[in-house]
Amino acid sequence: MLDIDVAKQRAGTALEIRFESAGGVTALFGRSGAGKTSTVQMIAGLMRPDAGRIAINGRVLFDSHTGIDLAAPQRRVGVVFQEGRLFPHLTVRRNLLYAKAAGDNGRYGGVIAMLGLEGLLERKPATLSGGEQQRVAIGRALLSNPDILLMDEPLASLDAARKAEILPYIERLRDEAGPPIVYVSHQIDEVARLADRIVLLSDGSVAATGSVDEIFSRPDLMPLTGRFQAGAVLGARVAEQDVPGRMSRLAVPGGSLWVPSVPLPVGSAMRIRVRARDVSVALDKPDRISIRNTLPGTVVSVTESDGPFRTIAISVADETGESRIAATVTANAVRDLGLAPGVAVFALIKSVAMDRRSMALPPRDEIVT
């Protein structure tokens, strides 16, 4: 478990970073300049905080009061950098085995297999694609047997196809009881797929912490999470497969959603992100309409802002539970429909809007259809 409470004066802004992360994947989320990378560097021992304390599993890495400041090699903090930083003069194998701990902890074979590196071992980093380089970088950091793994925007320099190729490997890493992960990103789809908890950074300090669904469905945070990318993240279960129609019905707490065919057996758990801008609101239940998903609910809140848009939080509930869905609509619509907390509405969600990027699925080669 990571416990950090530090202050650092940077050119221009002051950083005040304080959060705890228990296990699983904690996302450090925020715009560029919010202090994400500085936080990673302070944990890794590559940047010295002005004051504060950093501890992992009770082991103090930095404490300005007692004068403890472990050097980076002593910290047992693995880092996957945005640019990979593979050693260009060493083969993939020797990159992977660079850490002294790498040879003798018996995990070499498992890590190679998990990341699909078997075919790359004798090659030099320059001959690898960007996605392959990042997989090697992840393997190299894992094999150093770290107490925690920091991933600093590991996908930021990759194109969409490469991202899609590597995300399943990171999901697998998360699911295979590896070290706790701190995942830095400003991409909401990555965070929604990977993270258990979110630490939302803004202008050098922590604006909010919470679970993924909590943070992304809080309308007051949407200026920080980003209006156009923002939306609710729902835990879902595959409830029904419409094979001829190539659609799947997903059960979410409070209702169900029809989405384009999900290649998972009925009963599988998954996660789905419903972007606020893909949700419309109606006061009456529309009959003759192409939109497949009409969920009855109640308005919980309407955010005020200066722009032409408003974000509405809608509670959708039935005997199976409750989900919060966010909808972005215009201020005029709020006025004309009289939308306010307590008003009963129908949330309309186009199935077409929910593409593969919105859904967290297992790696491609494990998909059973």
Which residues lie near other proteins (CB under 8 A)? 44-46, 71-79, 81, 83, 85, 87-89, 91, 93, 98-101, 122-124, 126-127, 140-141, 144
The distance of closest approach from Cβ of residue 37 to other proteins in the complex, given in angstroms and rounded to an integer, is: 12
CB of 85 to other proteins, least distance (A): 4
Taking residue 156's Cβ as centre, other Cβ atoms within 10 Å add up to 15
Least distance CB 125 / other proteins (angstroms): 9
Nearest CB to other proteins, comparing residues 46 and 208:
46
The answer to whether 19 and 206 are in contact (CB under 8 A) is yes
Task: Take residue 338 and report the two structure tokens written for it.
Answer: 């009289």
Q: How far is the CB of 327 from other proteins (least distance, A)?
A: 43
Residue 76 or 218 having the CB closest to other proteins = 76
Buried b / exposed e along 44-78 (16+ C-beta atoms within 10 A): bbebebeebbbbbeeeebbbbeeeeebeeeebbbb
Would you tell me how many other CB atoms lie within 10 Å of the CB of residue 242? Answer: 11
Tell me how far, at minimum, the Cβ of 124 lies from other proteins, in Å: 6
Strands 231-242 and 25-29 come out as: unpaired
Please report how close the Cβ of residue 81 comes to other proteins at its closest, in angstroms: 6
* N-term to C-term CA, the chain: 38
Which residues 6+ apart lie within 8 Å of 239 measured at CB?
A: 249, 250, 251, 256, 266
Give yes or no for a contact between 28 and 183, defined as CB atoms under 8 angstroms apart.
Answer: yes
Closer Cβ to other proteins, 84 or 297, answer by number: 84
Write down the number of H helices and E strands in the chain: 9, 21
Q: Nearer to other proteins by C-beta: 150 or 314?
A: 150
Nearer to other proteins, 32 or 127 (CB): 127
- Residue 127 CB, nearest approach to other proteins (Å): 6
- Name the nearest CA neighbour of 136 among 95, 103, 174, 166: 95
8 Å CB contact between 268 and 248:
no
Q: Which is nearer to other proteins, 149 or 195 (CB)?
A: 149
**Closest distance between other proteins and the C-beta of residue 84, in Å?**
9
Please name the residue ranges forming H helices in 297-366. 331-337
Partners of 25 in the β-ladder? 181
Contact predicate 247/260, CB 8 Å: yes
How many CB atoms sit inside 10 A of residue 13's CB? 15
User: Smaller CB distance to other proteins: residue 140 or 227?
Assistant: 140
* Paired sense of beta strands 197-202 and 205-211, if any: antiparallel
Query: Minimum distance between the CB of residue 115 and other proteins, rounded to whole angstroms?
Result: 16
Cβ distance to other proteins smaller for residue 154 or 254 = 154
What distance in Å separates the CA atoms of residue 88 and residue 81, rounded to the nearest whole number?
15
Q: Which is nearer to other proteins, 90 or 291 (CB)?
A: 90
Q: Are 51 and 6 in contact (CB under 8 A)?
A: yes
